[in-house]
Amino acid sequence: MSQASRSYWDAIAGEYQRDIRIRVDDFHYGPLVPGDRELGLLPPDIAGLRCLELGCGGAQNSVYLATQGARCVACDLSGGQLATARRLNREYRTDVQLVQADLDALPFRSDASFDLVHSAYALPFLKEPERLIQAVADRLVSGGVFLLSTAHPLAMGEWLEVDEGETGIFTQNYFQPAKDWRQEGDAEEVCHAVPVSVLFGWLRSAGLVVDRLLEPSPQPRTVLSDRALREQAPYWSEDWLERRDELSRIPFLLVFRAVKP
């Protein structure tokens, strides 16, 4: 990651943590989708596990795991985001170790020392995502779990009106998804997705065994009201809720659970 990336996340940190609701009473995988209470991807016994969160933001997932008895390390490029993590550490009386670090160059020892590594939506912002996946595999103990949620390539498509009153997603090339360029003042960041098969291949090449692959989506309003979704989903915002109808029709999020043999 670059200085421009750090500047971007520092610039939006306050607004991001203010506008997006991320609870710490459940483990989240992405906006509007169910948490781990429903998806059930975490190891069954959290207490005592050594856990590492990559691209933690406010470290809400690490705080949640720490309240369950895990020993947690959480890292992020942005000092602004980590300021929220420090506040949550104090508020919930947890002892998450916070590290400011570039995920393209992890500062942790390369020997196997973690039972669980987890990352929610940090991978699409990396210059060398394949390298990070290998670094994760190197740091997992035998039987350790990697939980990765990341952008689905279809999320890079453009919504168009395809018929009177009907909309659909358009992508020029699924195998080379468009990039999502973001800007805040002079700072710029880019989000880029890769095909599902590419991600699967990276995990396999790193020696990991994928045992779950999910494409979670929010339930449509005909099934679940906005109020009920706010109560159910551990991660949401009003902006995300405005996109709910679209996001209930396509996979916009990928969640991999992979195990080190």
Q: How much is the pLDDT for 176?
A: 93
- What does the pLDDT look like over 81-111, one tens digit per residue? 999 999 999 999 999 999 999 998 888 777 7
Q: How far apart are the first and last CA of the chain?
A: 30
The helix/strand/coil state of 29 is coil
Q: For 20-152, where are the alpha helices, taking DSSP H only? A: 36-39, 60-67, 79-91, 129-139
CATH number, domain with residue 145 = 3.40.50.150
Number of domains in the chain: 1
Q: How much is the pLDDT for 229?
A: 94
- What does the pLDDT look like over 204-221, one tens digit per residue? 999 999 999 999 999 889
pTM above 0.85, yes or no: yes
- What does the pLDDT look like over 171-197, one tens digit per residue? 999 999 999 888 877 778 889 999 999
Could you tell me the residue range of the domain that residue 186 belongs to?
3-259
